[in-house]
Every structure is written in structure tokens, then in C-alpha cells.
Amino acid sequence: MKITISQAPKHQDKTVTIGAWLTNKRSSGKIAFLQLRDGTGFIQGVVVKSDVSEETFSKAKNLTQETSMYITGKIVEDTRSAFGYEMQVSEIEVIHEATDYPITPKEHGTEFLMDHRHLWLRSKKQHAVMKIRNEIIRSTYQFFNENEFVKIDPPILTGSSAEGTTELFHTKYFDEEAYLSQSGQLYMEAAAMAFGKVFSFGPTFRAEKSKTRRHLIEFWMIEPEMAFVDHEESLQIQENYVSYIVKSVLENCKLELDILERDTSKLELIQAPFPRISYDDAIELLKEKGFEDIEWGEDFGAPHETAIAESFDKPVFITNYPAEIKAFYMKPDPTRSDVVLCADLIAPEGYGEIIGGSQRIDDLELMRERYEQHGLTGDAYKWYLELREFGSVPHSGFGLGLERTVAWLSGVDHVRETIPFPRLLNRLYP
């Protein structure tokens, strides 16, 4: 019977066949230990010379790293391994012999590994990070489905900017100028007016010349948008959503967190509600923490965010930023027009901003004014304003950056390891 490694616990004491690759091996004259993987998991195969044919034992001893095979044997309990099971091998059928696999168990430099990303993805740590990414995506759909959100897919090719014009990727749309989407938000606002509560999940592009451990040129964003929901209600949805995905990862990715040696006690603390600090208070806090020169009106950089996050053991919302440093669509605070009803959610442990969100301007005249102040053109001018013309309602939304969230939950310090094929300032390969 052919099974996957993940199914092994259900086949204890049975003889089964697994399609697998060899990741590593140790052998002596009498016994060979094969480290096997099949994508669903990792298991050790034990080949005992006295239990198998001479041909099988010599095959086992000569297997090279990443050789593919069908391997047959009995699944037995192995309390010493994290997985809990191993295979007592009886037969090996090599499918394809790999020679000189470039990524050996020794240490390699990051650039070398990134050049071999198509192979590096097979390694245990990278595999664990991608499984955590997958769990965040799975639980995201579950959370929004349970809360009556409709999944809506905004376009990727657009005729206008959603977040400011400096970071736009330009392309040609036949004879027209077009851009790759920076954010689906404007379209999600249209969708919220049609479906109430909506969310999107898709790739977004920023032609940002940033070379930091938090920036990708192509990254994936989850963007919920909600009609009849104000800023404070949106914050509650955000903290519930983030708590939900953290809990799902803790429950369903135990092996992966263990492989990554993630300190899960820090993640256990992540439960709604999250603390909130106003931009004004954040400026004061930063001054106390040694950033004496920071002035009201300045945007926060990574060191500022990290310093603020250090004061909390949960993610923290920084709310009500100055209007000048935020996007054109954010609604001014009705009690104070110099700040807007927005919040950035800063992850703990130095992982930075994982969510940007706000209540949107719902007044047609004000939106028109902002559009013009920001010198915005493009085809959204007409349709986006029409959303304020026909039954405008208070509405809010936010965008969660998937890769930064994966980095935080996995405990890896650079977003390049959180997406299968990262697009970075200096990297389009593989």
C-alpha cells in the first residue's frame, strides 16, 4: 500500500510503500539510517543488513542525497524522534539517482542558498516556514468565512495608484499606461458596498528601493474591507483575526515550530485585546527611550517601531497618525483634523508593522479635495469617487502583510525566507 509520511501514524506495524527523497544518511557495516522526506513530512528509514537482501543493503549504503525512490517497510513507533515513528526498511526501488546535489548538510552562505531557492525549499527549515505560511492562509480563509466575509479578487493590472505614486511598477497595457497593483483596497471598497464584508488575498507590488529584512518587491496581502464598520470596530476585528491565526499556528504547526526552535511561550501571549497607543503618545515614548530628536509629524522607521514594540508583549496598535504622512483616503479624526482614523499594528519581538488600516473618507467633497491635493490622476478618480456618490456609508479596512506575519510566527529574521520565490531589489532569479 502506498502512503505518505504524514499518514504513517495510522499504519503502525503495517508494511507500506512511500515515495521519498533521501536527505541524509548514516551507515555502518551492519545498519544504515536513511533520512527520508516526501513533502508531507520527514521519517527515518532503518535498513538492517541481516534483515534484507544483500542487494537492498548495498543500495541503501550507496544512496546519494536527493535520490528519489519508492521505499517499502514496516512502520514502527520510535519514541526518540519528534515525529514518533520510523520505517524498518525491507525494499528500495530507486526512481532517479541524484549526483552532486549542491546543498549539502554543511553550512552555505545566504546568497548561494537564494541562488538555489528552487532546491533550498526542500530543506527542513524552509519546509517548516512554508507550512506555517500555508496554515496562516488556511486559517485566514476560515476566520473570514466564519465571520460572514465574502472573498473578492481585485485586479492586478490597474490604471491608478492605491498607495502613492512613487512605488508603482509601470507596465504597458497595449497602448495605455498601466501599473501592477500596490493594494487591492480601492476595488475592495467597491466590493464592500456590494457585499458588506469582503476580503482579498493576492500578490501586490512595490517598486521600492528598500533593501531591508522587511521589504519585498512582490508580497502577498490579505485585505478585508467592511461597510458600516468604524475605526474602533475595525481594530477589534484585526485583533481577533491576528489572535485566531496565531492560535491556529500554535495548534496545527507544532512540529514546524519545533524544527524552527520558535519560542512559543511568546506566541501563547497573543490574545485579544491588543494595547493601543496614539501617535502622540508614541512620540513621547520614543523621546523617553532615547530618540530625543524625533519630532511630531515624522514617520516611524524600523528602529522606532522596534522600540515601541519592546514596551509590550503583544502586538500594539499605533493609532491616529498625522494626516500628512498617511494615504489620501484616510478619514480625519472628527475631533482633530490634523490626525486620521488609522492604525498600524506592530508585531512584538522586532518584526515590525504587519497591518496598516484605517476608516475611509466617505464624504464625496472631502475625497475629491484629497485626490486633488495629492495630485492623483488615473482612472480611479471617476469610479472611486462614485462610491461616495451613491449611498456612501462609514467603512473601514486593513491590509495584513503575509510575509511579515510568517516571519514573526516562524521566528525567521528576514522576509526572503517567508515566500517561496522572493522578489528582492537585486533578485529575480530563480
Count interface residues toward ligand 4AD (CB under 6 A): 23
Which listed option, ligand 4AD, Mg ion, none, makes contact with residue 422 (CB within 5 to 8 Å by class)? Answer: none
The residue among 88, 29, 32, 17 whose CA lies nearest residue 63 is 32
Query: Of 153, 159, 154, 170, which is closest to residue 205 (Cα–Cα)?
Result: 170
Cα(52)–Cα(69) distance, rounded to whole angstroms? 17
The answer to whether residue 356 forms part of the interface with Mg ion (CB under 5 A) is: yes
Is residue 357 near Mg ion by the rule CB under 5 A? no
Nearer to ligand 4AD by Cβ, of 378 and 399: the residue is 399
Stretch that binds ligand 4AD, among 76-84, 96-104, 173-181, 214-222 (CB under 6 A): 214-222
Nearer to Mg ion, 45 or 356 (CB): 356
Residue type, 114: M
Cell numbers given for 226:
467592511
Find the shortest distance in angstroms from Cβ 405 to ligand 4AD: 7
Q: What are phi and psi of 202, to 5 degrees?
A: -165, 175
Q: Cα separations (Å) of 363 from 187, 195, 198, 327, 359?
A: 17, 20, 21, 16, 12
CB of 347 to ligand 4AD, least distance (A): 9
Q: How many residues bind Mg ion (CB under 5 A)?
A: 1
> How many C-beta atoms lie closer than 10 Å to residue 254's C-beta?
12
Measured from the CB atom, is 59 or 404 closer to ligand 4AD? 404
163 binds, among Mg ion, ligand 4AD, none (CB under 5 to 8 A by kind): ligand 4AD
Task: Decide if residue 397 touches ligand 4AD (CB under 6 A).
Answer: yes
CA–CA distance, 264 with 257 (Å, rounded to integer): 8
Please say whether the beta carbons of 150 and 170 come within 8 A.
no
Q: Which is nearer to ligand 4AD, 216 or 229 (CB)?
A: 216
Element (H, E) at 194: helix 185-195
Binding of ligand 4AD at residue 343 (CB under 6 A)?
no
The three cell numbers of residue 214 are: 522587511
Torsion angle, alpha carbons of 207, 208, 209, 211, to 10? -120
Stretch that binds ligand 4AD, among 12-20, 84-92, 216-224, 385-393 (CB under 6 A): 216-224
Smallest gap, in angstroms, from Cβ of residue 216 to ligand 4AD?
4
Query: What are φ and ψ of residue 94, in 5° steps?
Result: -70, 130
DSSP 52-71: S-HHHHHHHHHPPTT-EEEE
Q: What is the dihedral of CA 366, 372, 374, 378, to 10 degrees?
A: 110
Report if residue 184 touches Mg ion, rule: CB under 5 A: no
Window contacting ligand 4AD (CB under 6 A); options: 173-181, 253-261, 269-277, 397-405: 397-405
Closer residue to Mg ion in complex, CB, 332/356: 356
**Residues 91, 115, 208, 230: which binds ligand 4AD (CB under 6 A)?**
208
Query: With CB under 6 A as the contact rule, which of the stretches 15-23, 80-88, 230-238, 394-402 interacts with ligand 4AD?
Result: 394-402
DSSP codes of every residue in 156-188: SEESS-SS-STT-EEEEETTEEEEE-S-SHHHH
**Shortest Cβ 297–ligand 4AD spacing (Å):** 18
Given 197, 206, 326, 416, the residue binding ligand 4AD (CB under 6 A): 206
Q: Which residues bind Mg ion (CB under 5 A)?
A: 356
> Interface residues with ligand 4AD (CB under 6 A)?
162-163, 183, 185, 206, 208, 215-216, 219, 221, 223, 353-357, 397-399, 401, 403-404, 415
